[in-house]
Amino acid sequence: MTRLLPALAFLALLGSASASEPMPKRGGPAFPGVSIANVPTSTDTTGVAADPAESRQLGAAWLKKTQQNSGGWAAGVWGEATSDAQADTATTAFVTLSLLRDAKGTRIHDEAIARGVDYVLTSIETAPADSPRLNTPEGTQIQYKLGTLVDTHLASLLLGEVYGKMGPERNRRIGKAYSTVLRKVEMAQQADGSFDSNGWAPVLSSSIASQGLYRAAENGQSVDAAVLDRADQYSAQQVSATGSADASAGAGVALYGVATALAGNTKAKRRAGSTAAPAAEEKAEAMAQQVAGDTGALVAGFGSIGGEEMLSYMMISDSLASDGGERWDDWDKQIGDYLVQIQNQDGSWVGHHCITSPVFVTAGALSTLAARDFADQKQQRSDAATGS
């Protein structure tokens, strides 16, 4: 994977930014051998952040500035991906989760997180009871690209991380809403084990849904075992006998197929009682090997950065971090350095295709950069639960 970053940087820098958003700054010494003389760039080419830690600080600060009075964040609708559009649940849940991951168990983002959680809770509490949907704007950029039920799935993922951790009154609301949204996720599952189909790359939404259910089971929530089994089988079926990922539900983009298959099979191989566990271990390894052996074509995704790429990077990071070792260290170093290089002057990141929303893309970058700390926190919780 040592040649991954030069190729990836070149592809990303060639992406044309929206006229209303700042261009990413050009690559520097971290990308040897890449010709950038004719690539459009911002006026400041000296570097926004010195390292991933500073990059995280700048990204988190920018996200908190874009939080709306409602407590929510917005990605906007297709073609108008502005942070001052009407807030939506998917973007709010994803940003709140990214700040939670960045906080490392501290209270540095408590106010923003609490307001974001309250926004998500309201969208669940006021949603129709007989539908997998939440009370959230429709036709958003995130729904258009990931699927119409992505708000539900991201809300479930967020509540799994704040469950029981936010004070008596808010915990009461979280407990009730968590049970409600989990039933909605289960309701959304299709016969093949996926959870969304109406989008450009719905495999990403389906992966978020299954991750939310796995986390719920870890939290001791009641989750239908048959739903989990179908989710496990769906992940297993995304990897062929020859070790290649099915990208048909991911707009034909190999990165989305590999990232989601890696995430799903990594979870399935560890789930107690999973009927797919033996096969899942083999398939997760096949996906991890593809990531480790990539020289740029896989991680380049669609060919430039979008929210889909950031989601995929987060899923890869979380999966590799759960196993640890040299393969994870190598990926974490390279993807961290890369994200530092393409950060905008104001601390944000912006997409150049599909999910272009700087709010959503920045949340994805922040979540990826915080993956090591997030994995350490999960390990600490596991150790505490087992007394080790």
Rounded CA-CA distance 64/27 in Å is 27
What is the rounded end-to-end Cα distance, in angstroms, of the chain? 35
Q: What pLDDT sits at residue 277?
A: 87
Q: What pLDDT sits at residue 83?
A: 75
Q: What is the pLDDT of residues 260-270, one digit of tens each?
A: 999 999 999 99
DSSP state, 80? B
Q: What pLDDT sits at residue 77?
A: 78
Bridge partners (DSSP) listed for residue 80: 77
- Residue 161 sits at the vertex; the CA angle it makes with 160 and 164, to the nearest 5 degrees, is 85
3-state SS class at 77: strand
Report, as an integer, the average pLDDT of 205-220: 97
Q: Residue type at 151?
A: D
Which helix (H) or strand (E) segment holds residue 174: the answer is helix 168-188
**What pTM was estimated for this model as a whole?**
0.89
Residue 317 has pLDDT above 80, yes or no: yes
89 within 8 A of 151, measured Cβ to Cβ = yes
Question: Cβ neighbours of residue 174 under 8 Å, at least 6 residues apart?
Answer: 117, 121, 159, 162, 163, 164, 166
Q: Which two tokens stand for residue 128?
A: 């129709």
Residue 379 has pLDDT above 90, yes or no: no
Q: What is the pLDDT of residues 69-105, one digit of tens each?
A: 999 999 987 667 677 899 999 999 999 999 999 999 9
Question: Cβ neighbours of residue 9 under 8 Å, at least 6 residues apart?
Answer: 27, 30, 31, 34, 338, 341, 342
